[in-house]
Amino acid sequence: MHPKIGIIIVSYNSRPYLDDLFFSLSKITYPNFLIVFIDNASTDGSADYVKEKFGKQFSNLTILRSYKNLGFAEGNNVGFSYLEERGFDYAYLLNQDTAVSPDFLERALEKMDEKTGSVQSLIYLYNSAFFGTPRTPPNPPLERGGKEERLLEGGGKEERLLASSPEAPAWREKGGMKINTLGNAIHFLGFGYCYGYGWSKEKADKYLADWQKRDSELNIAYPSGAGTFFNMKALKKVGYFDEEFFMYHEDTDLGWRLRLAGYKNVLAPESVIHHKYEFSKAVKKYYFMERNRYLTIFKNYSATMLVLIAPALLVMELGLFIFSLSSGFWREKLRVYEYFLYPKNWSKICAKRRRTQKLRKAGDKEISKYFVGKILFQDMDNFILRKIVNPVFNCYWKIIKFFL
């Protein structure tokens, strides 16, 4: 008996990525899965492209359309709800700009048990040189007709197209790969980053071998939303993504809540996907990253931990404000302050905090094992971070952990 797995793909203007994505999906070897493609009001015709080009090739494709951009958090929650209502056992969150290895679902499932909330795949940076020219499967003859029906309240719809499964050329991987993430790290002040980013495959393999000697389960702080396998029973208990986040840090928050509730977040290095990831310092994302970092901290830390980290939080905030002035992000930083000045927002934060703290089975000492005092992310590396910020805050974090 193969558990039912739903692959959730939230799409926004994803047209350039779809050929590579669906070609790789056509090679999946797991026998019992559904692809749920959620279009977030794209303007590039992504949903129509998927329907016309791939709908007749996949017997297990569902397209859900939203008439507004729900963001990453709420968009995935639509998928979670869809799968829960239909009795699915697991959900795999997959970014639109990825390609998967054929057995990635089986390898993730091998690491899953009732005490595990999430299993992240080993995520490499995508390099087109490894895969050559994108290819899509030829159109086979239809075995069954398609149908279209209303699904989402407020104007969404489902398009379920039933056909035979496609045939496609063999999937091949080549050497020279670089790591996107070996599992994401949480800095104790709420920053999340991809651990191992930019490492060569050889360096990552050596690190994994040493890591498995220390921790056979390969526990991680939280999983990347780019490619992670979730236990639906665990999600039903702790809740889905916080839709207030819209985008950024929603995976940090969910991974933290899973840990608080006593579930594990682990890495499955044999489950492999490839991500067309490029770090961006865009001004428009700064507001969500900073606001959501604070929301994550305020919701999930115990009162004791909030008091203990407060001095470091204030010092970091001063540094970030100066950085925002010099980098042109100051308007976004002021928007963050404005958000936290509204009493109604604090009412929501406090209500969510109460719900989160009721989940708590793991104490501060247990949770702190998965947090770090340094930011080790290649695309953010600079002299000040490396020589001043990291040593000072790492020392402070060690002192806090000593007293826990």
> What single string gives the DSSP state of each residue in 102-170?
TTHHHHHHHT--TTEEEEEEEEEEP-HHHH-S---PPPPPPSS--EEEE-STTT-EEEEE--PPPP-PP
Of 275, 293, 314, which residue sits at a domain end? 275
Grouping H, G, I as helix, E, B as strand and the rest as coil, residue 61 is strand
Residues 111-153 have pLDDT tens digits of 999 999 999 999 999 876 665 545 544 333 333 333 333 344 4
- Of 275, 304, 336, the residue at which a domain comes to its end is 275
Q: Are residues 204 and 139 in the same domain?
A: yes
With 60 as the cut, is the pLDDT of residue 163 above it? Answer: no
pLDDT computed for residue 132 by the predictor: 55
Mean pLDDT of the chain: 88
CATH classification of the domain holding 141 = 3.90.550.10
Domain shared by 263 and 373, yes or no: no
Q: Do 217 and 311 reside in the same domain of the chain?
A: no
254 and 394 both lie in a single domain: no
Same domain, 235 and 297: no
Across 294-317, average pLDDT: 97
Q: Are 232 and 72 in contact (CB under 8 A)?
A: no
Confidence of residue 327 (pLDDT cuts 50, 70, 90): confident
Sorted by sequence, the CB contacts under 8 Å of residue 58 that are 6+ apart come out as 22, 25, 26, 35, 161, 163, 165, 166
Asked whether residue 214 falls in the same domain as residue 329, the answer is: no
- Are 296 and 387 in a shared domain? yes
* Residues 183, 306 share a domain: no
The count of domains in the chain is 2
pTM: 0.88
Cα dihedral 325, 327, 330, 335 in deg (nearest 10) = -150
**The last residue of a domain, from among 255, 275, 295:** 275
Lowest mean pLDDT among 10-24, 33-47, 294-308, 376-390: 376-390
Confidence of residue 176 (pLDDT cuts 50, 70, 90): confident
DSSP string, 322-378: HHHHHHT-HHHHHHHHHHHH-HHHHHHHHHHHHHHHHT--S-HHHHHTTEESS---G
In this structure, are 307 and 396 located in the same domain?
A: yes
Q: Which domain holds residue 85?
A: 5-275
Q: Which residues on adjacent β-strands are paired with residue 148?
A: 159
Per-residue confidence (pLDDT) for residue 131, from 0 to 100:
59
Number of H helices, E strands in the chain: 15, 14
- Both 247 and 135 in one domain: the answer is yes
250 and 313 part of one domain:
no
Give yes or no: residues 163 and 101 share one domain.
yes
**pLDDT reported for residue 387:** 85
